[in-house]
Structure 1
Amino acid sequence: MNIDDMLCVGVTDGFLLSNTIGRNGQRVSGDVLKSIIRGYRNFAEKMTSLGVNIRLCGGETADVGDLVKSIMVDSTVYARFPRDHMIDCNTIQPEQAIVGLASFGKATYEDHENSGIASNGFTVARHALLHSSYAEKHPETFSETLTLDQVYRGPYHLSDALPNSNFTVAEALLSPTRSYAPIIKEILEKHRKNISGIIHCTGGALTKCLHFGENIHYIKNNLFEKPAVFQAIQESAHISDRDMWKIFNCGHRMEIYCDKKIADDIVAISKTFNVDAKIIGETKASVTGKNELTVEQYGVSKQY
């Protein structure tokens, strides 16, 4: 997540990464810590083999049972790069294409198919999908500030098949958050000067774009079909389309704002990594004097 946030300003190499782990030692064993650290190492090695150099700088593990019920893993990433390579999303202009890179599927550099879930909205996803029995078995997995009617109110157990997919519910929820670093690196090497913005659809999901540019009307009217995990979340928790588009990526997690003449080539580059991509919309000049967003799908249109 940190590295992909940095991709949005144009950094694609020379990352220094450190981590801090806080755990409850009564519940989380040393084997869990070893697995997490191994995951860091495997990810760094994989990205480095693809030309995205990540150097692990160590970290710190603390037993803080009074503060943490289970485990919390935080990362800090640092990099230096030429100032004139910086991409500033505030330069997004009207009459540009919006290219979305899919959050689902299996990239050439991934080991397994991805459900598309990523990290943002994960608390909502767990409580929307999982059965109330998990509240009784694992009270350490939710905040005591929540009332019981807010906790694990879904129909599914972890081993259940997720409808309309090849995943179990556990597999869908545990799909890793995809990194687009190798794809963005190749795109920027070829088209940096024709790209005005890259937005990582994390907090705010499809509405995150509203924080960037000036007097821009963002129109997203050619979205990917919602992956099965998002369909299940929406149906289980009766979440409106308006809220789904504010909480979850719903099929694409990276948006590239570019000159229309290069949009098709960006799509083609992404597909060489077996990550689906398409032009999901465009930008227009806003007539309201402020940024606005229109999202359209399945005959539903919402304004933000």
Structure 2
Amino acid sequence: MITSNIKSLNYLDSGVDIDAGENLVNRIKPLAARTKRKEVLKGIGGFGALFEISKNFKEPVLVSGTDGVGTKLRLAFEWNRHNTVGIDLVAMSVNDILVQGAEPLFFLDYFACGKLSVDIAASVIEGIAKGCELAGCALIGGETAEMPGMYPVGEYDLAGFAVGAVEKDKIINGESISEGDAILGLASSGAHSNGYSLIRKVLEHTGASPEQDFHGKSLSDVIMAPTRIYVKQILSLISEYGNSIKGLAHITGGGLLDNIPRVLSPDLSAKLFRDSWNMPNLFSWLQKNGNISDEEMYRVFNCGIGMVIVVPNSDADDIIKTLISYGEKVSRIGEVVRTKKDLPQTYVL
């Protein structure tokens, strides 16, 4: 019943633009179509997406992961850089499930904002679609939530959800890792999506301009470089070397010191050699300008290593050559040793 002396209110008056939401969905559909896999029975547009597990799997085990982009988003807002954080979002989840040997199958995103800007949201989701293409998984659905009063104008939050599958007898869990195994490191593209609260503190402390030259690029380009997605090259490596790929560690929050132990038994440790890989200029700049200790650097940042692979020492040289043939920058960064009481489970010499 409408009361005559009160203005008739609608959803738009409260700050939610249904038409804008529909417009965004229409812009997303062709982006998602580029990521479609044959197993997708129904994707974006329905109440739920349908995905058939490939009959190529005999005993499939589903592996799932979820993550966000963290305070890297704050710089995206301040610098108006929205086109690559979607790649970051996909990377954080697919790299996580990859370490168990899983092939990412599909991805869903959650985009929440106070007032929907179709252009900004479409730019973000274009990055998500690009990330899915790089990972070989389908962007199968998601949710766009316009919630007035919950977020400042121009800001949003992101969450992502990836599901993959691996044969039960091919799960990589680190159980076969033994003393003497080689630790290989694949190069990162930068800080990826971790440590940005500290990065922002250093920026604040130095007063550095995002447009200033940084070794031939703008500082903002270097800091906002999207997270590397390692899926296709690692899956190819697993296919070629099988059980020789004993363990994988995604160097995400917690840096080198906290992530490698996640694939080691308590009686084994990772001994890393600092001079065995090149630390990118960004990390040297952050350490110098933030007066950050070595230990803090290794615990907060990836320091130039985005993915770690543990392999038998006897196979290490061949695996390095194969990774180089894939176009990877790879270094032998350490070895597996017996744990010592007076040392942490990962340490850098």
TM range (shorter): 0.7 to 0.9
1:85-96 matches, cutoff 5 A: 85-96=170-181
- Distance in 2, Cα, partners of 1:260 & 1:75: 36
CA deviation vs aligned residue, 1:108-142 (integer Å, no higher than 9, x gap) = xxxxxxxx12001122112212xxxxxxxxxxxxx
Matched, 1:203 2:248: no
Go from structure 1 to structure 2 and tell me whether the alpha carbon gap of 1:17 and 1:88 turns closer, same or farther (over 3 Å shift): same
Which protein shows a greater Rg?
2
Go from structure 1 to structure 2 and tell me whether the alpha carbon gap of 1:159 and 1:289 turns closer, same or farther (over 3 Å shift): closer
- The structure, 1 or 2, with the larger RCO (C-alpha pairs under 8 Å, 6+ apart) is 1
- Number of the residue aligned with 2:161: 76
- Number of the residue aligned with 2:302: 249
- Structure 1 vs Structure 2 CA RMSD: 1.9
CA deviation vs aligned residue, 1:14-67 (integer Å, no higher than 9, x gap) = x11000001131xx621010111112223323x3xxxx5311111111123443
- Number of the residue aligned with 1:40: 128
Go from structure 1 to structure 2 and tell me whether the alpha carbon gap of 1:289 and 1:268 turns closer, same or farther (over 3 Å shift): same
- Number of the residue aligned with 2:222: 172
Given that residues 210 and 291 in structure 1 are in contact (C-alpha distance below 8 angstroms), is that contact kept between their aligned partners in structure 2? Answer: no
- Which residue, out of 110, 115, 133, partners 1:20? 110
1:209-288 matches, cutoff 5 A: 209-211=260-262, 212-221=264-273, 222-288=275-341
Q: CA deviation at 1:174?
A: 1.1
- Number of the residue aligned with 1:8: 99
Bigger shift: residues 198-207 or 88-97: 88-97
Bigger shift: residues 267-276 or 3-12: 267-276
- Number of the residue aligned with 2:138: 55
Report the TM-score when normalising by structure 1: 0.78
- Distance in 2, Cα, partners of 1:243 & 1:77: 30
Report the TM-score when normalising by structure 2: 0.68
Query: How many pairs are equivalent?
Result: 253
Query: Aligned to 2:139, what secondary structure does the other structure show?
Result: strand
Q: CA deviation at 1:196?
A: 1.7
Percent identity, aligned pairs only?
25
Q: CA deviation at 1:8?
A: 0.3
Go from structure 1 to structure 2 and tell me whether the alpha carbon gap of 1:274 and 1:184 turns closer, same or farther (over 3 Å shift): same
Which amino acid is the alignment partner of residue 10 of structure 1? G
Query: Aligned to 1:99, what secondary structure does the other structure show?
Result: strand
- Distance in 2, Cα, partners of 1:77 & 1:180: 14
- Distance in 1, Cα, partners of 2:323 & 2:207: 36
Go from structure 1 to structure 2 and tell me whether the alpha carbon gap of 1:80 and 1:294 turns closer, same or farther (over 3 Å shift): closer
